[in-house]
Structure formats: C-alpha cells, structure tokens
Structure 1
Amino acid sequence: MNATKQLLTGVRVADFSRVLAGPYATAMLADQGAEVIKIEMPGHGDDSRHLGPFTDSGSTYFTGLNRGKRSIEADLKDPEDHARLLDLIASCDVVVENFRPGVAAKLGLSYENLKAVKPDIVYASISGFGQHGTQAKRPAYDTVIQALSGLMASTGFPDGSPTRVGESIADVSAGVFAAFGISSALFHRQTTGEGAHIDIPMLDVMLAMQPTNASLHSAGSAPTRVGNRHPVSAPFDTYRAADGLLVIAVANDRLFGTLAQTLGKPELATDPRFATDAHRSDNDDALRIEIEEFTTGRTVTELCEIFDAAGIPNSPVLDFAEAVTGPIGSDRDLTATDPRSGHAFLGHPLLVDGTRPASALPAPRLGEHNADFAAPTDAR
C-alpha cells in the first residue's frame, strides 16, 4: 500500500494531541508522507493506548489512529523537557494540540510562544468550542457536541428519542477539518512565508456538517427526526424486501421515471402526487406502499440485481464487517496491516494518482524514539 507519491513528504509535525480528533488528523498527514512526532506523557502516554479493544499486541484503537508516527516522552512541566521540545519545534512545520483552551499557554506552548521559536509555524488547535468566547474552556466530548449541534435531535425515528450517530462523528469530522486546515495553511506558507493559527472548534465543524438541516432552518422549517428517509427527497429510504431491508435512492424526476418502469408501474411517473421530488416527499407514505408492493415479494439480492441493471442507486444494509470484507469493500483495497502488531486498520480514504498513500512506519511503542530527541542542541 505504500504510495509512489506522498504529497506531504518533507513536512515535520509535532503532535501533542490525544485520543481521537487530533490523532485522526495527524494519521492522515502521516499517510501523506509527513513525519509525525507524537509527544506523550511519560509512563502513560496517550489515553488511547489504554482504550480497547485489545489484542496481545495492545490496543487496536491506538494502532489505527497512530500508524506511521514516532513517539517521544516529555513532561510538559519539566524545564529540561520543555527546552528539548522548543528545540524540536524549531525544526517542525506544524504543531497540533487539543488541550483545553488556556492550557497550552500555561505550559509555554501556545501559538505565540512557539511563533517566537518558529515564526512560520502552522499551529492547529482542536477544542470543543474554539479558543475564545464564553464556552471556550467548557469540556466537550463527541456525544456532547452531537447533542449541542442539533445532530442528535434530527437523528432517529419520529416516534423515538434523539439518537447519537453510531460513530464519534464530531471528533472524526474535526480531525478531517484539521488536516484540511493544516494543508491549506502549508500552501499559504509556501506562497507567502507566513505561518498561521488554525482554530478547529468541534461544535462549528458539526454544524457545518449539516447542510441539509441548515437549508431547512434557512427556509423556516425545523429539522426533525425522519428515520432512514431523506428529509426533503423521495424515494430515498430503506424499503422492506422479502428477507430484509434495501436502500433505494432517487433524487430526480428522470430517475424516478426509470424506477416507475422497473416497478412495472409506469403510471407513477405521471401521477400528480409523485410528479416532482417535492411532491414525492410530501406523499412519501403513499409512495412507500407502491414501492413495497414490488420489493416485499423479492429478496434483497434479487432487488439489487434488478435495480443495478436499471441504473437505480440501491444497496443492501450491511454491517461493518460486510462493508469492509464483502465483495465491494474488498475490491477497494481499504485495509492495511500494522507490521508490528498485526492489527488491521482502514487506510487513507483518498487516492493519489490511483494509489492509496500510506506510511511505512508501524504505530510506535511509547517513547520508542526518545533517543532521537534526547537533548536540545542549544540552551534556551
């Protein structure tokens, strides 16, 4: 899986982040060729080293998030370690941290502190609510952000409770935006010579990840829980088959005409109730009856074959293992294996010139690279 072209080769990153959002971002950077130096608490390290699931080789969670990095131990309150870190940062292009706002300054590791050491540093801060404002120092975890962003209130079925998305989506999305912000700032630095402080508030990111809900709100509607259907398009939902559920996704009139023909009900395309996407959405219950008269008499496999042949977007509802190791996922070459632990993880989602970028380094043991950064090269 090693790439022939890694877009961030030559970039050096000092990574103070822990657990998920920051490490997810820096794993993306490491896959693209950046040298990522993970700075960890002596003796304990990143908390994710102690989060399951575990094998005899350690945490599979840690491996996936910290592939391709180096690890050094440093006591951030120790003067000698602090001097050593400043010396390291002087050789870096990027710093990533997810301390609670104000903590980096107390440790002498704020953007202002490090800009004095490396004037063109790109400094990324990930937090729940940003670096400024009345909520800045409030602690936040993914579930808190999902609840505060309105995402939870608009997820689930109408007769059920607000529902958490089945992944730490606020953390992961913040990591993606952090990698994007860092890459953008590196390009800006290349063209201007200026560094930048990139502030990544998880709440802002999670709000930005809801363009459909934002459009509903802008139009004066309150986003609500609608189950598996799309809030404004139909048919765009799960439908009953003889042996399970099938997704059908139709978002334009031409495709709906094809669906009507495939169902053996061409008259649906000219039915006033279903003439436009808006009409279909308003009459979704009636449309479901028409569709399920066809789908409930056939298996999911049969329906996928029928709809694939017609060019109608569809899918069975897979579990994660089926998604990754099934015929579609396995054809994508999605997984890699850590050469030391043997843990499998999902590789970089982007391809560069047709190749999936990946670092050759395994996830590091705690302090594995201490000797490479043993002492500052000058007194500070």
Structure 2
Amino acid sequence: MEFAMKILVTGGAGFIGSAVVRLAIARGHAVVNVDALTYAACLDNVASVAGSPLYAFEQADIRDGAAILAILDRHQPDAVMHLAAESHVDRSIDGPGVFIETNVMGTYQMLQAARQHWEGRGRPGTFRFHHISTDEVFGSLPHDPQVKFTEDTPYDPRSPYSASKAGSDHLVRAWHETYGLPVLLTNCSNNYGPFHFPEKLIPVIILNALAGKALPIYGDGSNIRDWLYVEDHADALLTVVEKGAVGRSYNIGGENERTNLELVRTLCEILDRKRPKASGSYADQITFVTDRPGHDARYAIDPTRIRTELGWRPSVTVEEGLERTVDWYLANESWWRALQNREGVGQRLGVKG
C-alpha cells in the first residue's frame, strides 16, 4: 500500500516510542514497532493503531543483533528511530548493569545491524539511523536562566543512566565517522503526558494524590527541569528524521522550566478543580524526602538549532500539557491500575547511593 516512509521504531510500546508510533501512522508513515516488552512497555499504548495496515509489531531485544538484522532485512525500513532504553534514574542507581547492557551494548548491536543492512542494500543515501537521547548526558546546570544546554555543551553525565546514554551517543557518532552510517541524534528534556509509566514524577504525583498518599518531593523541591509534552516531542522527532542533516544533533526542549515544587503545586491545583477532595487541598499531601544521590540541580535546553534549521518549536505550554495529562489519567484508570502491579512501581528506588 502507499505510505510516506517506512520507519522501524525500537521501544515503540514504551512511553515516548508509542507516541512516535501513533503520530507516524496518523501522518501516513508505515511503522515497524520493535519492542522486547520489558517491565515499562505496554502494548495498550499502541492499541489505537494496532489494526492499521501501516502497523507491524516485532517482539525482539535490541541486544540480539541477529534478530534485529533479520527484522531490518525483512521490513526494509527507510529509517530507524532508536528509542528503546532503560530510562529511570532511580532504577539505574539500584541496578546499573542492565542500563549498560541495554543502552550501551543494545545500541552497539542496533548500529552493527543497521550498518550491515545498509551496506547490504548498497548504502542508500536516503537511509537514516536516528538515535534518541536525553539532556541528562550534559550533566547539571546552575540556577542561571541565561545558561542552557546547547548541542556543543561538553558531556558530563552524573548517574549510571545518563552515563549509559552518553556512551550510546558516542557510539552513534563513531559509527557515522568511521563507517559513514547516516545518523541523526536528538537530546530531549523531561517528557510527560499520556501513557507515562507510573514510576516517574508526574504520574506518581497524580496517582498518589488520588489515593490519599504522600506526594514525595526530593530534597527541597528546587531542582529545575524543562518539561516537554510527549506529543510535541514525537512531532519534533519526526521533523528531525524527515528533514534533519546527516551527522547533526538537535536539542529538543519544551521551553517550560519549572522547579519540581512548582510542578507539583500546579498538579495539585488542577486536581483540586477536577477531582476535589472532601476537605483541604491535595497540596496538603506534599512531603519532602531525602534527595536522590547525585541529583542534578537543573536541566534546560537551548532549542535554537532545531527552531532555526528545521522550523520546529513546542506547541504546548506546561500548564496546558499538565491539564491534558491529568484529564488523561482521570479517564484511563484501567490502564494505570494494571501497571501499578509491576515490579518496583510504587516503591522508593535509588536510595542505595
């Protein structure tokens, strides 16, 4: 059938990956979703497009290079969008090994399979390997609004998670320089929105609030993040894979910096309006807990390159995005209740440092 591009998405049953899958199919691209279905994956995330003739699913582990090569050769994609990764900082503190295996060795296997497949097809100039990474590889910023991460910021990862993503970024650049593989790289700020796995800050706050539990905030809540609505991020990623310059990296930010405490207070205000308590405010449940070991003070992205070169900028403010996110969780209780039973969810992780 007719389609714009055929894109192989790794981690397409995860939070960001599923947003990419849904948006790509909505825009007429064919998608091959490759996912190992580990604890944070959920095929319900792509149920809305699973019946589309443009959609195919392959269960495989990115660490299995032979399986990945077979999938590439079978589907002949125009582009690979590599999102599959272990991504929870607290889990990386408790168990760094799987982060090295998945994020470093898995990316190595993806690159080798993509290179072999690309060379076997005669090295087509239209092929792209798009590696999706994080702003956490750049380390921590001071509380100075003039200072932001650019694509030229030196790498300075501080956690096992960010170190493993930094390693994968370096591998992608090396495969471009050494073997000529046509790569693209993106580093994004903190994502949030529908289908966010319920161990990350925003869903934890929403679901704990509804359950009458404490709303845990690390340290004094002054840590700052730049919040990017996941559907905006998916739009940016497709823009990069369609129009980005080979070998180039692009920082993707939401242009929405907030302290963790500001963010949680905003969520409480939204919930107070939409699902009021019998008495008091959800903010009464805010509790400050011992900070995460090595907790980065601030992340903020300078998005000048993607805006000036590719014409992309975020469309959703953090207030709008949080409203949408709360609405989604209130309307999709069956989705998150099923995930709350998975290993580690609802427990305080990352305190072994």
TM range (shorter): 0.3 to 0.5
TM-score normalised by structure 1 residue count:
0.37
TM-score normalised by structure 2 residue count:
0.39
RCO higher in structure (CA 8 A, sep ≥6): 1
Task: Please identify the structure whose Cα radius of gyration is greater.
Answer: 1
